Every structure is written in structure tokens, then in C-alpha cells.
């Protein structure tokens, strides 16, 4: 017992254990969302989806995971072996490292740094490098086309996405995500989407621009995680499976896991910026460390399922439409909102 206590008191062991919490969360969350997405897609398309594996197919995600573990790990003969193997891990690490600054509750945040949201934007850019690496290393034209599309799409939509984040940072005066959350504490009326914790006159002026920035960020985040209608890098009718065409087994599963983890990450950032983060919508009622973790996950999952709903409802855009939306719609709206917010904040 003394040995266990001495090990648990070691700061390195504590750091490792804290770092594993997001990984465990991602693994459990991916199983739940995979099942939820297939069921939502089925109901939207008026069919049943999983029904045979367990009650209403609830064991199907576990069966899929076991199947992927059993798949042969094939590396094409003409592929660049080192970069082919490295790419999926780089994509996942870029997403997983971003979880370090997410305030899951009032009691748990991996790293409470003052440049939290800036760090998240910077580290998540590793995903682009990993996707380009996977397309080039596969030595396959469809993989390369998909990787180049993905890089162009992510870079293009990072502009309006970062501008939306900049507008929010101007209001809060900080990039610390825990501080952003604490500034919205006190109930739903203090959430930034409803004008934040400001006098009534300023709230009424801020609300329309917060709604604009939220819509800009929502669309930009959907494009960054390659979800329909922005899934051109994986367009099956054009590119087989895009950048992961040549991947199988666990490497393919890691790409899949990174996509779902990234989906929760961008949803969590939207919750932190606009919807109070881990704070209770009822003020001090149903608050505290456990409740705050509950509210954070529930709000994040709500936006995950909003993304899923949009994915199975909207058709895929053409490449020219994709770029038009980014550069001629979202970016001008975000710039206009930033200028207006700057004027409001100096009033």
C-alpha cells in the first residue's frame, strides 16, 4: 500500500494519469457516437440500421472494433513506408494534443495556459501535415488528390474559423479557455451567444454579431473535420476513399478515431466560446465539479449530433462552391463582425 501511495504521489505518474483521461474519453465517446450516427442516419433515411448485434445493435461498434483489430495491416509495395506509417499517428496526435487545454469541468483541465485557444489552433494544424503525408506516401493518385483537397479546404476554412475565434477573444480579453468559461458563469443569460455578462445595452448590440460568429465558426469547423457537405477529400464517387484509400486495419481505425475526436474538439470549443462551457444553464443550481463535467459533455455531444444531422441531410458541395462559401461568404461576414465588435467594446 505504501508503494502504491508513493507511486501516486510522483508528479510524473500524476501527469501521465491525467493525460490518459482524454484518451479514455475519446475511446468511449467514439463507440457511442459511431452507434448514434448510424442510428440517426438510418432514421433520417427511414431504415433500421444496426439491429442484430445485441439489443437494437448496441454491440455493433464493439464488433466493428474487433473486426478492425483482426484486419491485415497492408503497406503498398510502392509506398514510402516510414511516412505511410507515421501519417495516421500524426493526425491523431494533432487532435489529441489539443485536448490538453480543454476545461472539462471546474475541477479538471489538463493545462490551464493563458494562450489556450491559440495553442489549440496551432497544434491542430498538425492534422494538415498528417493528411498531406498520408496522400503523398501512399503513392496513389486518389490518395494524393484527396490529401491536396483536404489541405486546401482546411487552410481555406481556418481563416474564417480563426477570425470567429478572434472576435470572441476581443470580447473576453483573454485566450484562456477556463477564464472564458468562468466569465459566463451565473446562468444561461450570461452565455456569450446571448450577449455575455455585460450591461443590457451592450448585450443587445453584441447578440447579432455573436450569432454571426457562431454560424461562421460552426460552418468552418464542419469543413475542418471534413464532414458533409464539406467531405470533398473523401468523396467516394470521385476519389474512392480519398487520402486513406490505401489504409487498412488499425491505421484506418486511427484515421477514423481522429476524425471523431476532432469532431468533439471543435464542438467543445464552440461550447466554451458561446454556450458557457462547463457552467450550468441554471446558475448555481446543478453546479459543482461533477455537474460541470456533465454539462460540458452534454453540450459538446449536442453539437456533435447537430453535425451528424447536417451530414446526413445536406448534399456535398462542388469544389468551386466550397471555396466560394469560405472566401466570399464566411470571411467577409467574420471581418465585418470583428470591426463591429471592436466598436461596441470601446463604447
Give the C-alpha separation, 280 to 294, whole Å: 9
pLDDT of residue 224: 82
The predicted pLDDT at position 7 comes to 62
Q: Give the model's pLDDT for residue 167.
A: 92
Domain ranges of the chain: 1-70, 74-345
Cis peptide before 229 (omega within 30 of 0): yes
Nearest to 103 by CA among 309, 302, 271, 284: 271
Q: Which pLDDT score is estimated for 1?
A: 60
In this prediction, residue 238 carries a pLDDT of 62
What is the rounded (10 degree) CA torsion for 230, 232, 236, 239? -170
Render pLDDT for 88-105 as a digit per residue (tens, 0 to 9).
Answer: 888 888 888 888 888 888
* Residue 210, pLDDT score: 92
- At residue 290, the pLDDT reads 86
**Neighbouring residues of 141: CB distance < 8 A, sequence distance ≥ 6:** none
pLDDT of residue 38: 83
The parts of the chain modelled with pLDDT lower than 70 are 1-9, 233-241
pLDDT at 299: 93
Q: What is the pLDDT of residues 107-163, one digit of tens each?
A: 777 777 888 888 988 888 888 888 888 888 888 887 888 888 878 888 888 899 999
Amino acid at each position: 500500500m505504501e508503494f502504491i501511495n508513493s507511486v501516486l504521489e510522483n508528479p510524473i505518474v500524476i501527469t501521465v494519469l491525467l493525460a490518459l483521461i482524454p484518451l479514455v474519453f475519446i475511446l468511449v465517446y467514439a463507440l457511442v457516437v459511431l452507434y448514434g450516427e448510424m442510428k440517426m442516419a438510418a432514421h433520417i433515411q427511414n431504415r433500421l440500421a444496426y439491429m442484430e448485434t445485441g439489443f437494437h445493435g448496441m454491440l455493433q461498434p464493439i464488433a466493428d472494433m474487433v473486426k478492425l483489430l483482426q484486419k491485415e495491416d497492408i503497406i503498398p509495395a510502392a509506398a514510402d513506408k516510414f511516412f505511410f506509417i507515421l501519417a495516421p499517428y500524426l493526425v491523431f496526435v494533432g487532435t489529441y494534443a489539443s485536448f490538453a487545454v480543454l476545461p472539462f469541468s471546474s475541477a479538471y483541465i489538463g493545462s490551464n495556459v493563458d494562450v489556450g485557444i491559440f495553442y489549440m489552433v496551432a497544434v491542430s494544424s498538425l492534422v494538415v501535415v498528417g493528411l498531406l503525408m498520408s496522400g503523398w506516401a501512399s503513392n496513389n493518385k486518389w490518395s494524393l488528390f484527396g490529401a491536396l483537397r483536404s489541405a486546401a479546404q482546411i487552410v481555406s476554412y481556418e481563416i474564417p474559423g480563426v477570425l470567429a475565434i478572434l472576435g470572441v477573444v476581443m470580447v473576453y480579453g483573454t485566450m484562456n479557455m477556463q477564464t472564458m468559461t468562468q466569465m459566463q458563469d451565473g446562468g444561461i443569460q450570461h452565455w456569450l451567444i446571448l450577449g455575455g455578462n455585460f450591461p443590457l445595452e451592450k448585450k443587445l448590440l453584441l447578440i447579432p454579431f455573436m450569432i454571426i460568429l457562431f454560424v461562421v465558426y460552426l460552418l468552418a469547423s464542419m469543413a475542418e473535420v471534413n464532414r458533409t457537405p464539406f467531405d470533398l477529400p473523401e468523396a467516394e464517387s470521385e476519389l474512392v476513399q480519398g487520402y486513406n484509400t490505401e489504409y487498412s486495419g488499425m491505421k484506418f481505425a486511427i484515421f477514423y478515431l481522429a476524425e471523431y475526436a476532432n469532431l468533439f474538439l471543435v464542438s467543445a470549443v464552440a461550447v466554451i466560446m458561446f454556450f458557457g462551457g462547463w457552467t450550468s444553464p441554471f446558475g448555481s443550481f446543478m453546479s459543482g465539479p461533477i455537474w460541470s463535467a456533465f454539462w460540458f459533455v452534454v453540450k459538446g455531444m449536442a453539437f456533435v449530433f447537430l453535425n451528424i444531422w447536417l451530414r446526413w441531410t445536406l448534399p456535398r458541395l462542388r469544389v468551386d462552391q466550397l471555396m466560394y462559401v469560405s472566401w466570399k461568404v464566411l470571411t467577409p461576414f467574420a471581418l465585418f463582425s470583428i470591426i463591429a465588435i471592436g466598436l461596441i467594446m470601446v463604447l
